[in-house]
Structure 1
Amino acid sequence: MQVLRRHSSPFISLRENAKVPKNVVSVACLRDLLNHLASVKSNEKVNKAMGNTTSEQQNGTQIKRTLSQSPSKKLLTKTCSQDDASPESLIQLTKILVIKSLAEDNLDGISKNVFLKYVCNENKTLGNRLFHYIMASSRKEEPPGQAGQSDRVFNDLLSPSAFLASSNHLFSLLSDSAQLEFYIKVFSEDVTTITQAETYDLVFAAYQMAQLVQNTSCLPDDILSAVVRAALHGKDAISQKYLHSWVSQHCPRLVMWMHRYVTHILTVGHRTIPTNTKEEENDTDTPVLEEHSKSSCVTLHPALVWLLACSLPQVFTRPQKQQGLPHSSSLLLDPHHFIEKMIAALSPTHWIPLYNSDNHGLSINRFQHHVFSYHGPTLMFITAEDGRMFCVCSDLEWKDSKHFWGGDDCRCLQLTPEYKVVESGPKLIYFNTTSRGFPLGLQVGTDSKSRALTLDVNLSLIKYRNIPYKLKSFEVWGCGTTEAREFQMEAKTRERREAEKCRRVNLNTVEWKDNPDRYLLELAGGRPNYAHYDKKTQDSGTSS
């Protein structure tokens, strides 16, 4: 048996990289042992005074019985008994957290402070609720005769066995639906309902754990509150099943980043916690904004970008592979091509600003000039009066047509004051500026009597479900690959060259006589005979 020595410091100093033996005795067990030895010595004095002696073998047996009945010995036994069912890395992490709790908080088990600091990255919103949920779940699994005993022994203290069981359960949550159901239960204190404050804590914790590095002066409260307002419809509390159904429909990947971070810590924590290092996971699902300064902080706030990444199909958030991986023969000839393909597959989508009415002017012609010929998915953000904001998501390139167009991934969203998906599906977008006899402007929606969005050709008025609002500004961002942007820039370069050629047309007299445009002008009427005019001019010049 090894006993941890106590130094002058109030904490116990341990080597960070040292392996923890299974027979380490904690402070609680050591205190019981010292109390027992003190009682044994007092009993020996009494026995000697009375002429009675006890053998060393009886004392050793009683000491072992005391250790076997202590709480720390039971915790270590439970931890070791689950070695076969849990990964080795998770078992090592559990032992490290027990040592950290013993050294920092002088507690035997996994303390709440250590759980918040090392598992939840000091995120109190997530850490407190997850810690109490694991403790409540472990108490429910206790035998009926032992129910309530852990409250007296472990106050705000998590047993290693409960931590292992909850970690294994987290690893088993594979689908988005299962993850969402788990975290709704974590943030809900009631069994069946969840309040407005608890829903906001869930959304805010999920946003914090997404680890967006973009700094902004705008607060995310209004944007995140739009999700809560849309989900609860003004109620104080709703059922957990309804919230699960609503989130699955409007932002199904809400808790994906939060769950990914927790499982990442449970996987690599046995390496990073002792050395105080970080192994950050590559995020390929959160788009990166190119030239973010060109957009207002309200329009594309990082919280709004994160919400869109939770709601939109992956065609908008992940780069599309134009070609498959090269064949093995071509890989041997050009390995750089294979490396470029692999890097592109692991890189997030870069959203590129195509049009901004504040910078390029609020005009339908300027919109067509900057957005057309971009062969990729786009996002149009429309800002109206009273702080209303909408988003039109097109998975195909924009075109002028008298028919509705769009693929299966088209979406129409209301961003504020309530965040929700209004409509989705194919043939959702109508944009016409040239065909006479058909409605002009932009229309979004499948219901002909009540379109989701209607924008006039003058870009002055927008209607949401036939309710008019004054248009303030709108902008368009490209969500395609870099090749789509390069193709658009090449197309614009060709258009400029053709325009320059048209401006520099020089026709001499011989070419003008045989040019068809000359005869068209004569047939238009009221035009002089240029040949006769030229002859009179020559005769007048000769006579003079």
Structure 2
Amino acid sequence: MGNHHTNHDETRQKSSPESHGGGVSTRSSVFGSSAKLNSACLIKLFQKLELTADEQNRHPGELSRATFENAFHGPLHTFGKLLYTQMVRQTASGDRERITKEQFTKAGKELLKLYDESSQQEYYFKLFASGKDHLTKEDALQMVKVSYALTLSATMIPYSKGSNDDALFEGIVQGMFGINERVTFQDFTSWSKKNSPHLFCGVHNWVYQILTGSKMPSELEAAKVPQLERFVEDKYTMSMGMLWMLTTVIPQSYTHNPEEKKEKQKSSEKNPLLNSYHLIMKLAQLTRCQSWTLLYDSREHGLSHNRFHHHISSYHGPTITLISFEGRNTYCLALDKPWREGSSRFGGEDSMLIQISPIFRVMQSGAPLVTWNEYSRDLRKGIYLGKEGRSLVLFIPADFDSVEHFGVNCALHKIEMWGCGPSHILEEQAKQKKWEKKEAEKQSAKKLHLDVGKWEENPDKQILQWGGINVEHQYSRDSGF
């Protein structure tokens, strides 16, 4: 099992299965139709584990705890221990040191019946709570770290952890617990609904792959982790841990191209020979998680408004912007609409303002959320983050030398923006930048000179005359006529 890994405010969040890859009925029809196949896969997996049994496993048709747990390597070993305990707890009384083939198959089938995220939440909460009715801080930290490792494995991303990820994981736990020492399932569901509705999606995807020997249908995966183009750990504010945590809360508009999916679905629905199951399977082969591309990094491109404007303008897709400032503060602005200058707020329903550190929490969400004023004299020039009628969370003055955090002035350290749109949006931005550069070169090469013979035809003459300037007299005097 470990080898599989080494290869690779508003509670408006779209946390329902329907908005993240298929409804409950869709999942039920897909999983239910393969119940017999699942049983066969579970038996095959059990037999495979029997072949790896240690010397202490001398009971045919049973697996020892050690044999089961040792099948999980590296960061996944802890999960193996928890999963064994959970499967035995469901099928046998007492603390059993062995599990039979029948118990293993029964527990596995029950696990594969978890069609919707609410039932998955309950199962994995109990798993990480080790059967208790609450989580301790140690349980929660282990839950976060294991969920991260399993999600990377399910997404075929090599496991890595940045230098700031431990602080991030602790901030998640701190946001979950507040001043409490324990968190009940009700407390957890209330927190996760707003801050991390898809925390266990990667966990369940991985478990599905292990138990069945095949990947979960692509469109049934709720929270996919996108690839970061040319990403180097610890070079950017973004880390793999942060990326994973963001995908547990941001909508799919940041990881999938909705227009592309609609077109593919339309073309598939035109074929009357495709039933619903085959349609799902066809879409599974067509949908994929989009990559994110770095648009602006103040450390590389310069921390100034002009450089920011140059690198992010003309990008007509969703973006993720990270803002770091003194006090170990990092915020994430998930913006589902293109950036635009003006004195009015903008941003769609999928926009979110998330505090990443020192505590992970969703601050505000929904539309509109951002104001970017460059020219209006009626408003301070800069970037405003916060909804109308709510407290202004952040303000970045046009000089980009500081940031106001709830009105308190702080030193601005870094701004980083990732483009989340499909590749053609980046290509269109590049074409626009190329055109702008060419136009600028034309203007700089153009010399302003006074041509006596063409002065009468020059439109500047009429403009100056409208301004009350006697251009005939001025020109004659300067020219020596």
TM-score, normalised relative to structure 2: 0.79
In the other structure, the counterpart of 1:92 is 44
**Equivalent-residue separation in structure 1 for 2:324 and 2:304 (angstroms):** 15
Determine whether 1:512 maps to 2:455: yes
Size of the aligned set, in residue pairs, is 423
- Asked whether the 8 Å contact 1:177–1:248 carries over to 2, the reply is no
Listed as ranges, the matches of 1:323-472 within 5 Å are 324-325=263-264, 345-448=286-389, 450-472=391-413
Change (3 A) 1:157 1:298: farther
In the other structure, the counterpart of 2:229 is 290
1:303-328 Cα shifts (integer Å, max 9, x gaps): 01111111111111223444713859
**Equivalent-residue separation in structure 1 for 2:116 and 2:299 (angstroms):** 42
Determine helix, strand or coil for the equivalent of 2:53.
helix
Listed as ranges, the matches of 1:53-452 within 5 Å are 87-101=39-53, 105-108=57-60, 109-118=62-71, 123-140=76-93, 154=96, 156-189=97-130, 191-211=132-152, 212-213=157-158, 215=160, 218=163, 220-268=165-213, 285-293=224-232, 296-297=234-235, 299-322=237-260, 324-325=263-264, 345-448=286-389, 450-452=391-393
Change (3 A) 1:184 1:528: same
Q: CA deviation at 1:191?
A: 3.2
- Asked whether the 8 Å contact 2:162–2:240 carries over to 1, the reply is no
Change (3 A) 1:240 1:280: closer
Determine whether 1:529 maps to 2:473: yes
**Equivalent-residue separation in structure 2 for 1:99 and 1:535 (angstroms):** 101
* Letter in structure 2 aligned against 1:503: S
After superposition, the CA RMSD in angstroms is 3.1
1:470-519 Cα shifts (integer Å, max 9, x gaps): 21111111000111001111111111122222223355433334212134
Q: CA deviation at 1:216?
A: 5.7
Determine helix, strand or coil for the equivalent of 1:209.
helix
- Asked whether the 8 Å contact 2:149–2:159 carries over to 1, the reply is no
**Equivalent-residue separation in structure 2 for 1:126 and 1:206 (angstroms):** 9
**Equivalent-residue separation in structure 2 for 1:327 and 1:208 (angstroms):** 37
Determine helix, strand or coil for the equivalent of 2:300.
helix
Determine helix, strand or coil for the equivalent of 1:288.
coil
In the other structure, the counterpart of 1:19 is none
Change (3 A) 1:344 1:296: farther
Q: CA deviation at 1:183?
A: 0.6
Q: CA deviation at 1:90?
A: 1.9
Determine helix, strand or coil for the equivalent of 2:355.
strand
1:398-449 Cα shifts (integer Å, max 9, x gaps): 0001111111100000000111111101111111111221243212222546
**Equivalent-residue separation in structure 2 for 1:223 and 1:176 (angstroms):** 24
Q: CA deviation at 1:454?
A: 2.0
Q: CA deviation at 1:201?
A: 0.8
* Letter in structure 2 aligned against 1:158: I
Q: CA deviation at 1:122?
A: 7.2
- Asked whether the 8 Å contact 2:461–2:471 carries over to 1, the reply is no
Determine helix, strand or coil for the equivalent of 2:387.
coil
**Equivalent-residue separation in structure 2 for 1:85 and 1:126 (angstroms):** 25
Q: CA deviation at 1:231?
A: 0.2
- Asked whether the 8 Å contact 1:119–1:262 carries over to 2, the reply is no
- Asked whether the 8 Å contact 1:432–1:439 carries over to 2, the reply is yes
**Equivalent-residue separation in structure 2 for 1:467 and 1:235 (angstroms):** 28
- Asked whether the 8 Å contact 1:232–1:238 carries over to 2, the reply is yes
In the other structure, the counterpart of 2:21 is none
**Equivalent pairs: percent with the same residue?**
25
**Equivalent-residue separation in structure 2 for 1:190 and 1:215 (angstroms):** 30
- Asked whether the 8 Å contact 1:287–1:350 carries over to 2, the reply is yes
Change (3 A) 1:443 1:390: same
- Asked whether the 8 Å contact 2:165–2:241 carries over to 1, the reply is yes
Change (3 A) 1:344 1:404: farther
- Asked whether the 8 Å contact 1:285–1:318 carries over to 2, the reply is no
Determine helix, strand or coil for the equivalent of 2:327.
helix
Greater CA drift, 524-533 or 131-140: 524-533
- Asked whether the 8 Å contact 1:319–1:344 carries over to 2, the reply is no
Larger Rg: 1
